[in-house]
Amino acid sequence: MKALTLPVYSQQGKQLKKIELDGEVFDGKVNQDVLYQAVLMYRANQRKGLASTKTRGEVSGSTRKLFRQKGTGSARAGSIKSPLRRGGGITFGAHPRDYRQAVPKKMRRLALRCVLSAKANDQELVLVEHLNLEEPKTKQMAGILTALGLDSSTLIVTAEVAENVIKSARNLPRVKTTLADLLNVVDLLSYKTLLMTVAAARRVEGLWGERLSQGGSDASLRSVAASADN
């Protein structure tokens, strides 16, 4: 597959150069069915079955029979933990449920590539040479986004943790920062524009490209990809 050529901008919004990105990651075919399954899995795995009740075997109390079986004129009764009595167990009550869904690793990687390709094809992917902030300044980050023409919701992706970038962007509405290793389909679909550093784009190529770079880095890239998928 042919490489995708995209411009790279400075923090001031000036075009510096053009680079080629892996076409399999950033210029592939968008599979709507795979995207649906990936979003469904992500949402389901975030759910927590918190509703919980206790059966008669789990509530506290004595198991002694309350009174003799016959001769009292009353209906027969077992222990005080009977569901018929106040404080007793619950019959057919709710219990914690696991909503997790499993999706094959290849499908998860394909879903990420589909979203990245859609962003690139719709001109919603912007590459910046680097994001260097000497101190956390919300105004400075807002100025960078304005210079790049990003006036809608934006997901900022970096290759490594950049504290000043995170702190400068966290107070901006509709802006989120994340690492290339932690990219997921839901975040990519939740923000209109994707702002990536060149290092982050190269990181994404290594993690989710179908053909990893040749040489001694193959094993390390596979291990990083495995840890990211888990």
**DSSP assignment of 167-183:** HHHTTSTTEEEEEGGG-
pLDDT at 50: 86
- Please indicate whether residue 21 or residue 229 has the higher confidence score (pLDDT): 21
Check residue 223 and give its pLDDT. Answer: 38
75 pLDDT above the threshold of 80: yes
What share of the chain in percent tops pLDDT 70? 90
Distance CA 192, CA 117 (A): 13
Average pLDDT over residues 198-215: 76
pLDDT of the residue at 213: 41
Residue 47 has pLDDT above 80, yes or no: yes
Q: With a cut of 70, say whether residue 43 has pLDDT above it.
A: yes
* 215 dihedral zone (left: phi>0; alpha: psi -120 to 50; beta): left
pLDDT band at 190 (very low <50, low <70, confident <90, very high): very high
Three-state SS for 24?
helix
Share of the chain above pLDDT 90, in %: 78
Our CA angle for 46, 50, 52, nearest 5°, is 155
Q: Is the pLDDT of residue 185 over 60?
A: yes
Cα-based torsion angle of the residue sequence 27, 29, 33, 36 in order, rounded to the nearest 10 degrees: 10
- For the segment 163-170, the average pLDDT, to the nearest whole number, is 94
Dmax (CA) for the chain in angstroms is 97
State residue 210's pLDDT score: 59
Supply the pLDDT for residue 221: 37
Give me the mean pLDDT over the 219-223 stretch.
38
Per DSSP bridges, beta strands 4-9 and 15-21 are antiparallel
pLDDT of residue 131: 92
Integer Cα distance of 112 and 182 in angstroms: 11
For residues 188 and 155, the answer to whether their CB atoms sit within 8 Å is yes
Q: Which fold has domain 4-46+102-229?
A: Ribosomal Protein L4; Chain: A; (3.40.1370)
Tens digit of each residue's pLDDT (9 = 90 or more) over 93-103: 999 989 999 98
Q: What is the pTM of this model?
A: 0.76
Residue 133 has pLDDT above 50, yes or no: yes
Mean pLDDT, the chain, whole residue set: 88
State yes or no: pLDDT of 218 exceeds 50: no
Domain positions in the chain are: 4-46+102-229, 48-98
- 176 has a pLDDT exceeding 80: yes
Range of weakest confidence among 36-45, 112-121, 207-216 = 207-216
Residue 105 above 70 pLDDT? yes
The pLDDT value given to residue 1: 64
